[in-house]
Structure 1
Amino acid sequence: MKPAATKRPDAATRRAQLLDAADAVFITHGVNAPLELVVERAGVGRATLYRQFPDREAILLALLERSTELLQAQALAVQERPDAFFALLGYLSERIVRSPALSDYWRSSSLVDPRFAQVRKRVWSTLEPALAQAQRAGLVRAEVQADDISLLIGMLGAALRGTSDAERRRLARQALEVIRRGLRPDAATDAASRG
């Protein structure tokens, strides 16, 4: 009787394994960590990594694409809620806190690298319907535009100034609360009456 052959993982499985490893390494050591750490964590050879991802930027782009897919799945899960926009901002806030190095990379590199334009566009197109829904529900001022989404995400990114995970989470909650209060339809009236 022949021993059972060990089934090799397919390319998609190997790719997901490498992305999981890269995500873990970048969370711990930052996006400039040696790729050898990714190889070690994934338990693969260096050639396997480079067959899937020719360079560090390809890994980072794939991680950002995967994060965008997760955001899109989250948007589907909350799409019936009037406050879906705030639920999605909360989800993004958690992602920023969980993966500060990747978030920092997103902020800096995606502005100059044309490969990131499509990913950025997908993020905005995921959030825009939820923003419109929140406006129809009276949760967000009518003058807030889709172009403001980038600014709101930047405000959430301020949580990265925290020096510990607990501090970053506290700052993220605080940023979310400031955003929620600032976007309320009555916020403009409140500000005018104080001024």
Structure 2
Amino acid sequence: MHDSDEGARRPARPKRADARRNEKTLLDAAAAIFVRSGVEAPVRDIAAEAGVGTATIYRHFPTRSDLIIAVYRHQVEACAEAGPALLETSASPHDALRRWIDLFVDFLVTKHGLAAVLQADNAGFQTLHAYFLDRLVPVCTQLLEAAAEAGEIRSDLSAYELMRGVGNLCIGAENDPHYDARRLVGLLIAGLRRPR
């Protein structure tokens, strides 16, 4: 994937269903390892989590950057798809918001590692960041609006403000075992509740 610009101009053939499933398994495994151990985790750990050999990972993702960018996009899509699903299956809109924010926090751990990997390619990172905002701000907006309409939370907070606040609470958490960002994020989400 070193010639990503040329690859982007060529129309991609649709992947077979089993190839898409295999790639999803790899990306889920890599995301789980990145959340636990950071983006510098050994490829062998990712391979073990996915139940494949390391050669399979390198065949799909020749460089670590290729893998990290694919995980980033995969996690954005998973977060985007989770919002509406959580609204349908959660006990309340506030519960859906709380559960979605938990997924978002896991994603942010990977995103912070991605920023370090892509330092030399600022334009590439900016493109991914714009994609992240385009996909996730509308989902967070939908969750906030549903909870506000149900009378569960205050209605004067934008999705961008909430996502930025959560992001700020997560900065550096992966390097400090004495700092529990998830607990503070939980307090923030609880604090959105309207007094009964």
Bin for the TM-score computed over the shorter chain: 0.5 to 0.7
Give the counterpart letter for 1:87 in structure 2: A
Contact 2:105 2:166 in 1 (8 A): no
Correspondent of 2:87 among 61, 73, 79: 79
Structure 1's 23 and 184: CA in aligned 2 closer, same or farther, altered over 3 A?
A: closer
Contact 2:31 2:75 in 1 (8 A): no
Residue 162 of structure 2: aligned partner:
149
Structure 1's 94 and 20: CA in aligned 2 closer, same or farther, altered over 3 A?
A: closer
Contact 1:25 1:33 in 2 (8 A): yes
Residue 96 of structure 1: aligned partner:
105
Residue 74 of structure 2: aligned partner:
66
Equivalenced residue count is: 171
CA-based RMSD of the aligned residues comes to: 3.8
Structure 1's 95 and 132: CA in aligned 2 closer, same or farther, altered over 3 A?
A: closer
Q: For residues 112 and 150 of structure 2, what CA distance do their matches in structure 1 show?
A: 33
How far the C-alpha of 1:115 sits from its partner, in A, is 2.7
How far the C-alpha of 1:151 sits from its partner, in A, is 2.2
How far the C-alpha of 1:128 sits from its partner, in A, is 0.9
Structure 1's 185 and 138: CA in aligned 2 closer, same or farther, altered over 3 A?
A: same
User: Highest CA radius of gyration, 1 or 2?
Assistant: 1
Relative to the length of structure 2, the TM-score reads: 0.63
The runs of 5 or more residues in structure 1 that have no matched partner are: 1-8, 187-195
How far the C-alpha of 1:31 sits from its partner, in A, is 0.4
Relative to the length of structure 1, the TM-score reads: 0.63
Q: For residues 14 and 101 of structure 1, what CA distance do their matches in structure 2 show?
A: 24
Q: For residues 25 and 185 of structure 2, what CA distance do their matches in structure 1 show?
A: 33
Q: For residues 58 and 30 of structure 1, what CA distance do their matches in structure 2 show?
A: 16
Q: Deviations over 1:76-110 (max 9, x none)?
A: 2332569425533334325636x774253267679
The runs of 5 or more residues in structure 2 that have no matched partner are: 1-16
